[in-house]
């Protein structure tokens, strides 16, 4: 077999560069996500150093990266606890939908888009990036925070909403009849509910099947099952992230602890590739013309996500700093918004560049705001502290 020298060289340079960027971010106690995104922008189409040989690997690695991020996130929680949190946050999901889809719909109407374009832009502003948020919570060591169940409940409900939204949008964009869209939505919703019910009822048996004494066998079994479930979730437009998260939730106790230990290095590698891939998918030439409009839309939806996180965290009786952390954690947009535009982007000249610029702005600013959110006491907390001295 001939060794692909160019591929090996490009991957080596990429990984070395990501290592340096990660070290710089850690030096200043920041998440490396924004730096990885900027590195991808420099390596993509129109960038300063394209990577033609490694492009396919990065694309495949990105898909694996988001699966591993959500799998390891699910390993941190129990299915029973998370199901209770989901029920408690149905109102949070409704607030999230109304507040964050509306700006995209209004912007689409002002831009003169047709109904499908308005629907697409509403979806792009509504959905947060599960992959970016999962990495941020781990990087900033906030998985055990009181506001984290609220954040995850909102994210998972968004992904469930995508199970109905994507089949509908795909059929409408292709010019299909309404009944075909309705059937696709019903099939996706039914499959998601069936998968969740099966995980809830029989998931406890999974740990026994996936807990061999050998660490290599454990990694292969858990990863293999997760990829199969993720593929099935994608098939019904429910998102690979939801499938991976459900697998993680079903593994508890010693099996979950061992799985985290063996999968963490893989997660870190492919998560870096995932963020790099988002940057590579963006062309600098596409960003600049619509950057002012993207910045305006980003400013509005930053506020609406802050309100969403504030409301969701308040339902967990979290304090103001935790509410602020929850809001900023939800700001980042990413993979789903780009998928949505991939379905309809060719139908509208300005839609794809606008959403691409919008995603890139929030994928960078979101993690930065999240890092500093709640790092300093609020005015009320300072007053309380000074009064006790």
- Residues 253-301 have pLDDT tens digits of 788 888 989 998 998 899 889 888 888 877 777 778 888 999 999 999 9
Q: How many helices (H) and strands (E) does the chain have?
A: 19, 0
What is residue 49's predicted lDDT score, i.e. its pLDDT? 74
Mean pLDDT value of segment 162-185: 76
Answer for the pair 242, 193: CB distance below 8 angstroms, yes or no.
no
> Among 78-82, 155-159, 162-166, 377-381, where is mean pLDDT lowest?
377-381
- Residues 132-164 have pLDDT tens digits of 898 888 888 898 899 999 998 899 888 778 877
What is residue 329's predicted lDDT score, i.e. its pLDDT? 94
Per the listing, tokens 């930065």 go with 368
pLDDT band at 386 (very low <50, low <70, confident <90, very high): very low
What is the C-alpha separation between 360 and 253, in angstroms, rounded? Answer: 38
Phi and psi at residue 50, in whole multiples of 5°? -60, 155
What is the C-alpha separation between 350 and 290, in angstroms, rounded? Answer: 8
pLDDT band at 106 (very low <50, low <70, confident <90, very high): very high
What is the C-alpha separation between 56 and 59, in angstroms, rounded? Answer: 5
pLDDT tops 60 at residue 382? no
What is the C-alpha separation between 133 and 366, in angstroms, rounded? Answer: 9
Q: What is the pTM of this model?
A: 0.77
Neighbours of 91 (CB within 10 A): 11
pLDDT band at 125 (very low <50, low <70, confident <90, very high): very high
Most confident of 45-49, 84-88, 135-139, 191-195: 135-139
Helix axis angle for 55-74 and 240-250, nearest 10°, is: 40
What is residue 187's predicted lDDT score, i.e. its pLDDT? 73
What is the C-alpha separation between 252 and 258, in angstroms, rounded? Answer: 10
Most confident of 122-136, 301-315, 349-363, 370-384: 301-315
What is the C-alpha separation between 148 and 386, in angstroms, rounded? Answer: 29
Per the listing, tokens 């560049």 go with 353
Mean pLDDT value of segment 18-24: 91
Phi and psi at residue 141, in whole multiples of 5°? 55, 50
Answer for the pair 356, 282: CB distance below 8 angstroms, yes or no.
yes
Domain layout of the chain by residue ranges: 54-375
Q: Which CATH class is domain 54-375?
A: mainly alpha
Mean pLDDT value of segment 106-131: 92
What is residue 330's predicted lDDT score, i.e. its pLDDT? 95
Q: Could you tell me which of 75, 73, 87 has the C-alpha nearest to residue 329?
A: 73
pLDDT tops 80 at residue 325? yes
- Percentage above 90 pLDDT, the chain: 28
Angstrom distances, CA of residue 114 to CA of 22, 106, 231, 253? 43, 12, 32, 51
pLDDT band at 340 (very low <50, low <70, confident <90, very high): confident
């Amino acid at each position: 077999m001939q060794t692909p020298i160019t591929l090996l060289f490009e991957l080596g340079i990429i990984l070395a560069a990501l290592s340096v960027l990660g070290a710089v971010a850690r030096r200043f106690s920041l998440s490396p996500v924004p730096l990885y995104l900027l590195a991808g922008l420099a390596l993509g189409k129109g960038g300063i150093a394209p990577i033609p040989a490694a492009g396919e690997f990065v694309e495949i690695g990105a898909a694996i990266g988001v699966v591993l991020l959500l799998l390891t996130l699910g390993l941190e929680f129990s299915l029973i606890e998370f199901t209770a949190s989901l029920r408690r946050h149905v109102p949070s999901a409704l607030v999230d939908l109304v507040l964050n889809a509306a700006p995209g719909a209004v912007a689409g109407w002002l831009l003169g888009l047709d109904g499908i374009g308005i629907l697409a832009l509403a979806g792009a502003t509504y959905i947060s990036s599960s992959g970016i948020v999962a990495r941020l919570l781990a990087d900033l060591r906030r998985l055990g925070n009181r506001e984290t169940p609220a954040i995850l409940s909102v994210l998972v409900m968004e992904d469930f909403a995508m199970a109905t939204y994507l089949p509908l949008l795909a059929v409408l964009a292709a010019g299909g009849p309404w009944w075909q869209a309705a059937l696709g939505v019903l099939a996706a919703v039914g499959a998601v509910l069936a998968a969740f019910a099966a995980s809830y009822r029989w998931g406890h048996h999974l740990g026994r099947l996936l807990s061999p004494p050998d660490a290599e066998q454990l990694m292969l079994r858990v990863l293999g099952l997760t990829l199969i479930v993720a593929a099935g979730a994608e098939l019904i437009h429910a998102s690979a992230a939801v499938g991976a998260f459900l697998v993680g939730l079903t593994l508890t106790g010693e099996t979950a602890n061992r799985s985290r230990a063996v999968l963490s290095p893989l997660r870190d590698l492919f998560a870096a590739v995932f963020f790099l891939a988002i940057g590579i998918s963006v062309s600098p030439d596409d960003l600049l013309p619509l950057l002012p409009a993207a910045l305006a839309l980003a400013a509005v939806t930053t506020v609406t996500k802050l309100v969403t996180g504030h409301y969701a965290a308040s339902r967990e009786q979290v304090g103001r700093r935790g509410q602020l952390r929850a809001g900023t954690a939800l700001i980042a947009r990413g993979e789903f918004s780009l998928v949505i535009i991939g379905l309809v982007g060719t139908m509208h000249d300005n839609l794809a560049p606008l959403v691409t610029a919008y995603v890139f702005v929030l994928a960078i600013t979101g993690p930065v705001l999240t890092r500093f959110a709640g790092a300093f006491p609020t005015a009320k907390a300072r007053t309380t502290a000074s009064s006790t001295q």
